[in-house]
Amino acid sequence: MAMTKNIRLILILGILLISANAFAQKERNLGIIKSALNGLHYSVRASYGLGGVSPVPLPSEIREINSYRPLIGIALEGTIEKDINKWLGIHVGLRLENKTMATDALVKGYKMEIQNGPGVTVKGYWTGNVKTNVKNSYISLPILVTFKLTPRWKMRIGPYFSYLLSGDFSGSVYDGYLREGSPTGPKVIIDANNPASYDFSEELVRNNWGLQYGIEWRAFSHLNIFADLQWGMNSAFPKDFDTISFKMFPIYANLGFAYAF
């Protein structure tokens, strides 16, 4: 009987020790989670973008910008920010955005491929006016370092990575001529009343990356106002696309507001 009581006592003590250890481990895990969550900030952001897809610098083929207008360039984003210390943090977001523009330019010797009638494609060097419409939609991941300048002002800088969800890079040429095949090839006249179209949408690259710089001001306890610049570092078209003879970079400035939780 004494042996049985001792075994029971040992079993009870063992169960109590295991339970105490499990409870202590749970408390330690909760402490780790609380520590990780401490200094986390969440926000949802909306902004309007102005900019375009452009060579940098403008090549000699582009003689004059006749007009430029932004189209609907809206971005919606959810963000998480983690404080590293009093002044530094890491900012990560997931953004759905449209990057758009409409331009009209006067060019000379501009490489071009046009649809000059149903099923008729002509490639060569265009001199005259070019209209371009860009309507590209992306999902983007910015990973930024945050610098707290004052209790109300923050600056952010770092890379962003984008994937093209849908793209439209198209337009028309008018009031000029195309030298077919070479700069001295046969002339194809396109007058102002009968423009020829082009569409390079299928040639757009899917993966884009660039640098983002921004500044943010805390207007109220939950409302922030921000502005940022996104400068693409890879061309909108692949290297083997030779119709456009220079690299085209997406460059956009965004102005918007954020609700901070």
The pLDDT of 23-44, averaged and rounded, is 59
Q: What is the mean pLDDT of the chain?
A: 89
**Does the pLDDT value for residue 29 go beyond 50?**
no
In percent, the amount of the chain with pLDDT more than 70 equals: 85
* Cα–Cα distance for residue pair 81/98, rounded to 1 Å: 24
Greatest CA separation for the chain: 114
CB 116 within 8 A of CB 190: yes
**Does the pLDDT value for residue 12 go beyond 80?**
no
Instruction: Supply the pLDDT for residue 58.
Output: 93
- Structure-derived torsion over alpha carbons of residues 38, 40, 42, 47, reported in degrees to the nearest 10: 160
For the segment 192-203, what is each residue's pLDDT rounded down to a tens digit? 999 999 999 999
The pLDDT of 117-132, averaged and rounded, is 92
For 21-58, the three-class secondary structure string (H helix, E strand, C coil) is: HHHHHHHHHHHHHHHHHCCEEEEEEEEEEEEEEECCCC
The pLDDT of 146-160, averaged and rounded, is 97
In terms of pTM, does the model score above 0.85?
Answer: no
pLDDT band at 245 (very low <50, low <70, confident <90, very high): confident
